[in-house]
Structure 1
């Protein structure tokens, strides 16, 4: 318990480092609650990142936020932030409906962009954003959808434990307890592109795509509970969806923003098909197969609840009749807060026990800006496909995809 407490303390209170002369200066759009996790805390331990300025629609909120987090400058508007030549990059943690507009404007202003997920309101916006002509020019700005959990060592260890081609079924779930949300939250505002699929569900849908190593062929079903009146009308607070992937493999995802009182970790569970394995101790009349059941606990925030449970099922059958002769299981568990702990091909990658997923993400974002090699990246094509899957679910649910903004077109 002492070790856990110490690690959690260091995650939220990381050691401060001296900043390099050519550090990337960030501006933040809005006094968002997620901004400290996404950027402010991880920036403390990164020598090449300085959080320089913030702008919000309410200047008084921006000033209070800046004072609380030690941000030197407060701008009068988002446009003023973008026009400052001293700002190299921006974090966009605004409500979903504003991601597209301000990401486009930031790219056109020559700023590197770290945009919260989901990157846009729908696939139409994503296709425009990630294919902006400015992104294909020499010395183009860097654009990244902030899927922080995919940069964490536990995710890479998890995916190293199976071959996507062998995956037969995937299930992913997440939740926020009822007391963690209220109807006035941006996640429940339709005009801000709210909804459980947009909020937590995007993590779960991404887990299916990545585990299968493929895009869904169709959404077989998407059951939702949603508001039917007021500004919340059309916003789902929970969903359960089933997708068909190539090879008639099934992926299922579920999320609720009004869950039970006790908060439980997000998970993704992968089940592989049976594969023959050699066993010299068996007679020729017998055959042995192996299937694997892998559960990643703490899919979204690996620093909490994190564990990977692996169950290997070995089955011996009569080769002619198919009769099961014996079946046994072997169980193992793993944890990886650093790449060293993940081992294998990851062992020499940078990291520390106080690095949260956001810090690993920031490391790669800076590497990309600096022209250095990145070990992992979320491509524009990946982000477009992610929004296509979200649209697919909303279309099947009958609620329809979130509306497109015309502000930046």
Structure 2
């Protein structure tokens, strides 16, 4: 583990290719080193070329700290630069829509921090821009990095959506890691826990059910009620009803316990008949499964997939003859460990989910096959689910940008 984590933050640095994708970064965000700069070090086809921030002096200090060669005066200067191929947008949520639209109209590929936008209305416009359908047009990806990690792909492959009865997912940040004055809790910047961390949990529910929910049946929130923090949830628990009759529960907090706990998701399946030719006539084996992925968001640090099989043998009259449980565990820090259809995919043990995501982004830009992707329809459905929860909570959806 120590060796893997050292490699995550200190990856090898191969020479850059002559046709490397040159990124411009909008904003001096604290997430950018993890989500792009470190992954880019080990990718021979990615160069971090330029950055801009609202404060030029801050941008210069940030660029010097991270070895970025150019500092631009404005975000628009980055979009106007013909030497910039792609932009990374880790700005506050409320600015995602405007600058993603501007970048796409400028012909730039866009890696867009999640949540992609602030509302489903914005998502419908952004992901249906005509430029995205042009031959060799810009590539747009919502950066749901954890969905590119081998552990998630393996876990998802173990679940048949038709069998899913209940899914529950939880995430958290400790109270000391956030501040009330942070953008998380600024309503005008589309703040709130549902968008900050809960979006991971919502996506897990949709992926495992294989469809979007019909209804948010409840959304209990704890929120601020004053000033710019008004209507910003810092803790929530939402329940959804899915088309197959199953239920999904998502919860998160940004003021959690002192000790950081891994995010997780648990799937419970409907009871199924298990063929068993060794049983006497009139008896049948039945099975339910509970599958849990511990470490849903940052699987490279630590994760574990637990698979519990709950078995019963019953007579045709319903009498229980035998009961037993079997639990096995798996991990997949690499595609080889994931096995099966994934075993041939490229990647190293030190690749974080961000590095896997960057691999696929570059493949898409270069016109190569992608093994995993977040489709445009997926990102729209995600924002509809978020709006659904905010409406049920009574806080209402986040403000929609006035940018046209």
Distance in 1 (CA, whole Å) between partners of 2:264 and 2:285 is 30
Correspondence for 1:339: 335
What SS does the corresponding residue of 1:184 show, helix, strand or coil?
Answer: coil
- Aligned pairs for 1:199-348 within 5 A: 199-319=196-316, 321-348=317-344
Distance in 1 (CA, whole Å) between partners of 2:61 and 2:309 is 53
Shift of residue 230, structure 1, vs aligned partner: 1.3
- Aligned pairs for 1:377-396 within 5 A: 377-396=373-392
What SS does the corresponding residue of 1:371 show, helix, strand or coil?
Answer: coil
Shift of residue 303, structure 1, vs aligned partner: 1.2
Shift of residue 82, structure 1, vs aligned partner: 0.5
- Does residue 30 of structure 1 match 2:7? no
Distance in 1 (CA, whole Å) between partners of 2:244 and 2:267 is 16
Correspondence for 2:370: 374
What SS does the corresponding residue of 2:39 show, helix, strand or coil?
Answer: helix
Q: 1:154 aligns with which of 126, 151, 155?
A: 151
Distance in 2 (CA, whole Å) between partners of 1:343 and 1:125 is 39
Correspondence for 1:360: 356
Taking only aligned residues, the RMSD between alpha carbons, in angstroms, comes to 0.6
- Does residue 133 of structure 1 match 2:137? no
Distance in 2 (CA, whole Å) between partners of 1:118 and 1:269 is 22
Which has the larger displacement, 323-332 or 384-393?
Answer: 323-332
Question: 1:131-150 deviations in whole A, cap 9, x for unaligned?
Answer: 00111112110000000000
What SS does the corresponding residue of 2:23 show, helix, strand or coil?
Answer: strand
What SS does the corresponding residue of 2:276 show, helix, strand or coil?
Answer: coil
Question: 1:210-247 deviations in whole A, cap 9, x for unaligned?
Answer: 00001100000000000000110010001000000012
Shift of residue 201, structure 1, vs aligned partner: 0.2
Correspondence for 1:173: 170
Correspondence for 1:16: 13
Q: Which ranges in structure 1 are unaligned for 5 or more consecutive residues?
A: none
Distance in 1 (CA, whole Å) between partners of 2:157 and 2:180 is 40
Shift of residue 281, structure 1, vs aligned partner: 1.3
- Aligned pairs for 1:37-76 within 5 A: 37-76=34-73
Question: 1:53-83 deviations in whole A, cap 9, x for unaligned?
Answer: 0000011111111101100000000010100
Q: Which ranges in structure 2 are unaligned for 5 or more consecutive residues?
A: none
- Does residue 120 of structure 1 match 2:155? no
Q: Normalising by structure 2, what TM-score? A: 0.99
Distance in 1 (CA, whole Å) between partners of 2:53 and 2:122 is 23
Distance in 2 (CA, whole Å) between partners of 1:329 and 1:218 is 34
Shift of residue 18, structure 1, vs aligned partner: 0.5
Distance in 1 (CA, whole Å) between partners of 2:277 and 2:378 is 44
Shift of residue 99, structure 1, vs aligned partner: 0.2
Q: How many matched pairs?
A: 404
What SS does the corresponding residue of 1:168 show, helix, strand or coil?
Answer: strand
Q: 2:190 aligns with which of 182, 189, 193?
A: 193
Q: Which segments of structure 1 move beyond 4 Å, counting only runs of 4 or more?
A: none
Shift of residue 96, structure 1, vs aligned partner: 0.2
Distance in 1 (CA, whole Å) between partners of 2:366 and 2:153 is 23
- Does residue 102 of structure 1 match 2:99? yes
Question: 1:149-181 deviations in whole A, cap 9, x for unaligned?
Answer: 000000011011121110110000000011111
Distance in 2 (CA, whole Å) between partners of 1:162 and 1:291 is 12
What SS does the corresponding residue of 1:332 show, helix, strand or coil?
Answer: strand
Distance in 2 (CA, whole Å) between partners of 1:191 and 1:125 is 15
Shift of residue 278, structure 1, vs aligned partner: 1.0
Shift of residue 304, structure 1, vs aligned partner: 2.1
